[in-house]
Amino acid sequence: MNIRIETPAEAGSPDEAGCHPIFRKAPSTVEFNKLRKRLVRATRQAIDDYGMARPGERWLVALSGGKDSYGLLAVLLDLKWRGLLPVDLLACNLDQGQPNFPKHLLPEFLAANGVAHRIEYQDTYSIVTDKLPESATYCSLCSRLRRGHLYRIAREEGCSALVLGHHREDVLETFFMNLFHGGRLAAMPPKLVNDEGDVAVLRPLAFCAEADLARFAEALVFPIIPCDLCGSQDGLQRNAMKAMLDDIEQRMPGRKDTMIRALANARPSHLLDRKLFDFAGLAPTLSGSRAD
């Protein structure tokens, strides 16, 4: 069963308070205003730095019901309201058939806030539980199945991009998982194109701190849906990376931001990858002799 709802053209426009309806419950405190501006600024930086937005395009915004995807949607709507994001947005939730999934929450929330959206049901949960033993972690296979359906929906809706809510910590955790367990230097890129070459994958929250998104979601009273409805949690490796990064940040505040900057400041000549730099062809240049 698929449910597709497009709001009228005027829906989702700024309300009389001078903001998008999703911000109607926002606190009027200095602390929240600073938080909101920080998230908007970081998101805009990622969009600009990586050339994500082209005027007239349409983005499919994946909405799981967690704090990160709610934050992504709210910040993108805020940017659009400010005239800083010249694309159309379509929120999309893929109901994957997890036990006790509250089907009413997201459609009611999106409709109440005038957000154009599509809700689709695909029972990938049964596929995952059929293929994996009960002791296994479902997250990896579940994610791959979900991504395939989201690519399909993006094509059906005429969207050029699938937009995901991965944040700064997600990027860093993936980098260290690849470093410690994969033997490669790789993270989550803010922008890539799928294997078929027809849908871009965007991560505008790549510079946003997870703690900021948690405070943002709490302040705006988003109806959070827990990520463990199926009884499975992400793997121990990622949890270990998260704990390591949190410990580093506690001991040396500001290191997470430094690490994110480092990922955007690679120097191939100072690494060991011969495919990125011609070490064999590197030789000193003799410009003359020097008297001893």
Instruction: Give the CA dihedral 146, 192, 22, 234, nearest 10 degrees.
Output: 40
Rounded Cα distance, 127 and 129, in Å: 6
* pTM metric for this prediction: 0.87
| Tokens 């871009």 belong to residue | 200
Q: What angle do CA 243, 246, 248 make, to 5 degrees?
A: 110
Among the listed residues 223, 219, 221, the one whose alpha carbon sits nearest the alpha carbon of residue 32: 219
The pLDDT of residue 210 is 97
Q: What are the distances in angstroms from CA 100 to CA 105, 125, 131?
A: 12, 12, 21
Instruction: For domain 28-270, say whether CATH 3.30.200.20 is its number.
Output: no
User: For residues 9-39, b (16+ Cβ closer than 10 Å) or e, as one string?
Assistant: eeebeeeeeebbbbbeebeeeeebeebbeeb
User: For residues 56-68, b (16+ Cβ closer than 10 Å) or e, as one string?
Assistant: eeebbbbbbbbbb
Per-residue pLDDT of the chain (292 residues; tens, 9 = 90+): 566 665 544 344 445 456 899 999 899 999 999 999 999 999 999 999 999 999 999 999 999 999 999 999 999 999 999 999 999 999 999 887 777 788 889 999 999 999 999 998 877 666 666 665 665 565 666 677 777 889 999 999 999 999 999 999 999 999 999 999 999 999 999 999 999 999 999 999 999 999 999 999 999 999 998 876 555 455 678 889 999 999 999 999 999 999 999 999 999 999 999 999 999 999 998 765 555 5
The pLDDT of residue 29 is 96
Domain positions in the chain: 28-270
